[in-house]
Amino acid sequence: MIEKILIIPEKADIERDSVAIAWENMGGKVLRIGKFWQPPKLDPSNVHVYGNDTFCLVLQQKLGFNLVSPTDDIFAKIKKKWLKRKITFLKLSDIKKLMFPTFLKSAVPKIFKASVYESLDEVKKECTKLPEETLIIQSEIVNWLNEARAFIHKGIILDCSVYEGSGDLENAKSFLKECIAEIQIPETCVIDFGEIEGKGWALVEFNASWGAGLNGCKAEKVLPAIIDATYYC
């Protein structure tokens, strides 16, 4: 039985609400907070969070718990056979060396829009306020046929769903099982992956279990990943 407190934003959200219901059904308490920058005094060893990045990171700072997140450079440590495309890490100051168009995203999630950029000027406009040291991931442009999401806990796929396009779920799971058996990943995380046209299944990105949406996964199945994404020591 869960005897922990799950803190979520007070604003209604279908996915967060389903996680809250599953949490309460397992005996836990759910606390909805609006002014998360002024949280009530709580024992950090008794707290877990599920929400957007700002919400969870501010609560971490205010309450003193820890969050499990994939490292920003996790893709740099993964063999190309799991990526099936060329991926390069570079600083924002180096973008002038690139050939356009190209796909770019920030190594730290959501600092700027992940997209195919047609020109250097387009990138500069998007990243105008970012420091030159900002770490960027460049990828060759590929055509994704579909995209799936899986919640992982201690090397086990808790649940998996193809949420964009269509694809064989069993083939998706088979690919991911082989992948996570070989690569190093956090104890809990969310992995997005999909099929690249002409190349097959490949990893898309890693997300933190405390902040990733369900995207078709069942809340009651993925609770262990969300629980262990927050800890105190």
Q: Give the 3-state secondary structure of 183-226.
A: CCCCCEEEEEEEEECCCEEEEEEEECCCCCCCCCCCHHHHHHHH
Q: Which two tokens stand for residue 200?
A: 């097959």
Residue 2: pLDDT band (50, 70, 90) is low
Q: Write the CATH number for 94.
A: 3.30.1490
Please answer whether residues 135 and 107 qualify as being in contact, where contact means their C-beta atoms are separated by less than 8 angstroms: yes
Q: Fill in the DSSP letter of residue 144.
A: B
The answer to whether 116 and 103 have CB atoms below 8 angstroms apart is yes
* Number of domains the chain is built from: 3
Same domain for 173 and 149 = yes
- Same domain for 43 and 58: yes
Residue-wise pLDDT for 186-221, tens only, equals: 999 999 999 999 999 999 999 999 999 999 999 999
pLDDT confidence bin for 162, thresholds 50/70/90: very high
Pairing of strands 115-117, 87-91: unpaired
Cis peptide, bond prior to residue 101, ω within 30 of zero: yes
Q: Are residues 130 and 174 in the same domain?
A: no
Q: Does 108 map to a domain? A: yes
Q: What is the pTM of this model?
A: 0.92
Residues spanned by the domain of 122: 86-139
Q: What phi and psi, each to the nearest 5 degrees, are found at residue 186?
A: -65, 165
> How do residues 21-64 score in pLDDT, each as one tens digit?
999 999 999 999 999 999 999 999 999 999 999 999 999 999 99
In a domain, 98, yes or no: yes
pLDDT in tens, 150-159: 999 999 999 9
- Residue 179, domain CATH: 3.30.470.20
Judgement on whether residues 151 and 133 belong to the same structural domain of the protein: no
What distances in angstroms separate CA 212 from CA 43, 50, 80, 158, 228, one per listed residue? 24, 8, 25, 14, 14
The verdict on 90 and 133 lying in the same domain is yes
The proportion of the chain whose per-residue pLDDT surpasses 90, expressed as a percent, equals 89
Whether residue 171 contacts residue 225, with contact meaning beta carbons closer than 8 Å, is answered with: no
Q: What confidence category does residue 94 fall into, taking pLDDT thresholds of 50, 70 and 90?
A: very high
Continuous segment of H or E residues that includes residue 162: strand 156-165
